[in-house]
Structure 1
Amino acid sequence: MSDRGLQTMFEFDPAAGSLKWSDDEAAARIFGVAREDVAATGNAFSARIEGREDETRIAAFAGERTSYACEYQLKRDGGDGHWVEERGGWIGAGASRRLISVIRSIETRKRRDEQLSWLAVNDELTGHLNRSHLKKALDAKIASMISSGTAGAYLMAGIDDLGAVNSDFGFEAADKVIAEVGARLASILGPDDRIGRVAGTKFGVIIAETDPDRLRQICVRLLNVVRESVIETKGGVIAASICLGAVSLPQQADNSNAAMTRAEAALDAAKRIGKSSWSAFTDKTDVVSMRRRNTHMSDVILTGLNERRVRLAFQPIVSDLDETPKKFECLIRMRGDDGQNIPAPEFIPAAERLGLVHLLDRRVLELALNTLAVNPNIHLNVNISMETVKDFVWAEGYIALLRANQEFTRRITVELTETQVIDSIDASIEFVSEIKRLGCSFGIDDFGAGYTSFRNLKAMDIDILKIDGSFVTGVSSSRENQLFVRTLLDLARNFGMQTVAEWVDNEADAMLLKGLGVDYLQGFLIGKPETNPDWLPDGAPNEAPQRAERRQS
């Protein structure tokens, strides 16, 4: 039986030192004992408290305080601890004076808080560090190497062909491969080395101390430990392998950003060699190829913007399956000069790396505002990058565009991903405050992937939490995902936020999510992103309607 909501009251008689319980059965459950073994005296109760007893509680029982409140763990007979909250105060006078207190189980809350605290640092699937905390560990290790004159390395490991595993065996099998690869990599690391999951199919590894010869040996061992045996999944056995990119520290990178960027470039080089390969970063090879790729993609992005080939695809968001959509997320699309669509994963990271992403953010907002101007009954969600948010000039330009179109701002929700928010919380808070002052709503996308603290959630005044799709896909058949979604929904309700479940692709998941209390649904079941939906057959207007009208006249 769950202890959630379990509480009882006791009366303490200071003259006799005795306790009288209002509900012996509830007290027995809290203490984890039989009814006849419930603490009957103040001393017996104190003996059940794990660790040092709270000083305010001691003072209250001694009559030195009129009231008190504290939290602590009770020692149960089975050896396990149980968290409770106790609040009380004195009533009466003279011989009839009594201490009346309420004791309430908070074990469920404490477990949830501990889980969220752990998840704020670690990746849920693998148990390793998440990207932001591995990045912090990497910066600290590089600083230590510089001060001590030692050398180490940063490695980026990418799992080969995981997309094919997803396609052939399913998401559950792919998750098993990711978790097992992470475990195998960690199994041969030293006590001072660190590992973290930096992306869906990629791990970052900090090698605390090494030299070029030993680095080669480490890379070979990591490659071999992954492919030495098959991975058993419910869908069948899978032979996994990885590629590795290596950067020497601090010689080739004196900060985490440089280390991660160069390790990824080295990983790209390894992938071009073939499966189960590794490559060390060198200035003569990878920098040149990366510069060429950057120059090419810079031309593609700028030309696409100048020639108005950046477009919006609209994906519906609904509160019920039979509802006519009025809310849509704006997803960026770009056509190449050959007329073919360029996948967003190809140009968005490059735009961020090249300092061009603020131009894409502004163009998306312009197209969204133009769409709102010709469709008075819809609400649009637009994404913005952290690069725009944390740069004062770019952020101010974005806000100025909203200010100039304030008649539409109440129909706009601006979204940031949770992992971005965690990396630059102060800039996020300031930006959110400004856009909300103009009437916009604010949402956190991919919520659950980074685990923002309670303090940050409260400080940012969030309206919408979009639950990360990895917890939504297959939720109707995954008890773990159901429990996690419930936790996130409880969190959202406590902060007065609405919720959106992404990646909803079947009716069973949709019905369960609505039953759990999700406010909105988004995914292929509801509708795929469309650049020319029925309600906007010509797509998002390239220019604001009023501007176009002035030109025609």
Structure 2
Amino acid sequence: MARKIASDIRAHTGAKMRAADVSTDSIGNVDLISTAASALGDVAYHWDIKSGNVHWADGGARMLGFDAVDEISTEAIYSARIVSQNGSCRLDLISEASGTDMGGGVLFELEYQIKGADGTCHWIEDRGRWFADEDGLPKSAVGVLRVVDGRHDRDDKLARLSTYDDLTGLYNRRRLKEALEETLNAAISRRSSSAFLMLAVDNLSMINESYGFDIADEVIVGVGQRLRDLARRVDVVGRYSGNKFGLVLGNCDKDRLVAVTERMLASIRDQAIKTSHGPVAATLSAGCVSLPAHAQSVEQALSNAEEALTVAKQMQRDSYVIFSPSRDRERLRQHNMNVTDELVSALNERRITLAFQPIVSSMTGEVVMHECLIRLKQHDGSIVAAGNFVPIAEKLGLIGLLDFRAMELALDALRKYPDVNLSLNVSGRTASDPMWLDTLVAKLREDHSLAARLTVEITETMALHEIEGSAEFVKTLRDLGCQLAIDDFGAGYTSFRNLKHLEVDLVKIDGSFVKDLLNNKDNQFFVRTLVELAHNFKLPIVAEWVGSAEEVSMLRDFGVEYLQGFFLGEPVMQLPDTIVRSDVDMKRA
């Protein structure tokens, strides 16, 4: 059969076939090529376009799923087996990839489905050259076929993964954003209204804890299916992230937006989601944005929907909020952006520094240590207090960078002043960051003398809310020789029973209970109670925000050992060379 193909090639291509010329002496090579092609899973063919006859190399019929070569011996028979969406025959397909035959033929490469004798369809890759007659029309073609079902299945799977969410079968985040962009652009160009909803499963973490992650996944799938069933054919539903879904609504005014949102929330609230464990109750919260009225870009639509969803979650479960512009909110956002830019610049330019406030003995006035207070130095030399930027840094995730810098500066101060003791605040988020702790441990191991003069302050909220992690954190630093203090004690989730498990060395009473201490009986009672509690655990007390000699006297009478506040010493940017005592006369206080 290989010789037959070679003979047909010579007869039908003649002198034009310079690039594919096959002489009588090369018949053995044609046998070798045909054998090699077969070994690679290919089958060679020659097609006489004028007569319609197709000559196949050995094994061609079997590879394509036919019992005999007669079943595909003509182009008409073969093309009738091709599954094509537009009904084109193979000659049409070749012509669509047409070129001009300058003597060496024209390359073509096609992909189509063909139905075998048993009805099974196979994807075929068809590559070769067609040659023209004197009028430039296709006269003959030579090529090879390969069954590419596996590759086509992989391509389909990759295409599906790039478009659909693997868990729910809904559009994934990328395709959802594309659909949102298409709908938004259409609304802008047509001057019509559309909308975008971001919906989140409210109690997914509780479902995870109660039923396990597999059941939680089934809930996500069930919620997605129900949202898709309720949506119109023209609407787009996708999974935005873990427990969040996006719904793109075309031709949607505000009234319809409200109706759709309420219907979506009610569909989840009123009927439990069926799972393999049984029915599981769930609710949704939603943030809604009218387009293009309240968003001119995809990023703006997503941001506004997230913002509205956050507000809805703060209200209660099963709630929704429709985004509306707010000048105050925009000013706050712009302020946060400006502070963020300034913080990053200050960190890069080493303009983050420390101020040091003394902590003194309530009996003698002796300065026992200084608390490190982070500050931002502006280009004009002015100093910005922590309260103006730390809350924003915590909100925007920059507090870790500030805590790393404060650690470096505190250790530098301890090296520079061998007689000084310092206390260093660390945020709850940073205290749970293994990198921060590992860095501090490594630096203290380089110089063990620093650890004995360093007290690390963690907030009561962090210490008692994450009791196991806090205990490990405390133990690691105590093993190095550091002391540990609980800051803002009394302001958070006070749990007296847990104090003994932490093995801290010091308790700092939150300043809000010291403020107006002389006139506020409730504060006096609370401070006495905290002092008694701490003393039961043999923990010394620091009272913050001390503002007068009378407060010094009262706190000393309560049994408070150490005091801190502007009355006893304001924060200074430079530690004194000699640290002895506060300027306040403690005997008169």
RCO greater where, 1 or 2, for CA within 8 Å and sep 6 or more?
1
**Structure with larger Rg:** 2
TM-score, normalized by length of structure 1?
Answer: 0.48
TM-score, normalized by length of structure 2?
Answer: 0.46
